[in-house]
Amino acid sequence: MQRYLLSRLVQSFLLLLGVLIVVFFMIRLTGDPVSLMVPKEAPAEVREAFREANGFNRPLYAQFFEYLLNAFQLDLGHSLKFRQSNLSIIMERLPSTVYLATISLFLAIVIAVPIGIIGGFNPGSAADTVGRAFGLFGQTIPGFVFALYLILIFAVRLGWLPSFGRDFWYSVILPATALSIGGIGQFVRLTRSAVLEIRNEDYIRTARSKGLSKMAIGARHVARNAALALISVVTVQYSYMLGGSIYIESIFAWPGLGNLLQGAIVDRDFPLIQALAIVFSFFVVTLNLLTDVIYAVIDPRIRYGS
């Protein structure tokens, strides 16, 4: 197991290195990063001064190695607009995004898993039909459309909940609901099909023939094996919620990283955009690694495998 984990760790590290390289060249896609960051109307002296100050006049490989060296020292450059280090700005906003994504994930699991389990145990029943329709709705409706409808109903018409910002404890309710809807759809379908599949396994028949109660079989055998199938999807969904909340955060003016990215794009603050792209990718790579670790710990097939 140690060897397996070590190889995963090395892979994740290489992946992060690759991300750093891609992001570096992404900003230089148009050839000249200065033309991206300085308005076209600016006089030539201003452009050249900017080029000089930010080191864009040096050879590409020198820029690249300095960028890598800095990144390894957790220096992700400085924001053009905020005039401070990107990492400190990101760290300031990070808790809001993690808070929103975590609540959304929790909401999705709490709502979707019971629906999926009930459907899986009673396929074809009325409850299953309703559950599947709900799952299809969740999978189908785009999060940002759902977000706008939520605002329209609960903020504008009923006036129950705030539609933007994070000023009250209940401000999180609408954005979290909007962000969780896609996950709900996915989890309902996956839980249902996992339970359906496991129900037909030999070890369930054995358990039943030994006279175990339905509850005992459900809790001990079905739930644990279904959880195994769910974990990888849950972590992928979590990384999606952390990184994919851009639209949702913008709609609700939620003071997190997605909103920061929108502001940075409006202001053409490319050093900050670059840093944000790295941080978002870092979430994905870390969560993938975490998934592998969880599987290594709980799945005996990997635990005892080579």
Partner 1 sequence: MAGTTTPPAVGMEEYVEPTWGSKLAYVWRLLWRDKGGLLGMILFLLMVITAVFAPIIAPHDPLEQNLRDSKLPPAWYEGGNWDYPLGTDRLGKDIFSRIVYGTRVSLTVAVFGVLIAGGLGLLAGLVAGFMGGKVDGAIMAGVNLWLAIPYLVFVVVIASILGRSLFNVILIFGITDSPIFARVTRGEVLRIRQSGYVESAISVGASTSRIMFDHILPNLIGPLITLATFEMSAMIFYEAGLSSWAERAAHWCQLGQHGRSLPSILAKLPWMVIYPGLAIAIASLAMNLLGDWLRDVLDPRLRRSRA
Q: In the numeric block, which tokens belong to residue 28? A: 């230089």
- Give the three-state DSSP class for 135: helix
Q: How far apart are CA 195 and CA 230, in angstroms?
A: 11
Q: CB of residue 83 vs partner 1: minimum separation in angstroms? A: 19
Q: How far apart are CA 187 and CA 237, in angstroms?
A: 9
Looking at the Cβ atoms of 82 and 283, the one nearer to partner 1 is 283
What does the binding site for partner 1 look like in residue numbers (CB under 8 A)? Answer: 14-16, 18-19, 22-23, 26-27, 29-30, 36, 136, 139-142, 144-145, 148-149, 151-152, 155-156, 163-165, 193, 196, 239-240, 243-244, 246-247, 250-253, 259, 261-263, 265-266, 268, 273, 276-277, 280-281, 283-285, 288
Looking at the Cβ atoms of 212 and 225, the one nearer to partner 1 is 225
Q: CB of residue 280 vs partner 1: minimum separation in angstroms? A: 5
Q: CB of residue 273 vs partner 1: minimum separation in angstroms? A: 6
| CA–centroid distance for 199 within its chain | 31
Q: CB of residue 206 vs partner 1: minimum separation in angstroms? A: 22
Strands (E), the chain: none
Q: Using alpha carbons, select from 59, 48, 180, 60 the residue that is nearest to residue 113.
A: 180
What letter represents residue 267's amino acid? Answer: D
Looking at the Cβ atoms of 113 and 163, the one nearer to partner 1 is 163
Q: What angle do CA 275, 100, 116 make, to 5 degrees?
A: 120
Looking at the Cβ atoms of 156 and 219, the one nearer to partner 1 is 156
What letter represents residue 23's amino acid? Answer: V
Looking at the Cβ atoms of 17 and 69, the one nearer to partner 1 is 17
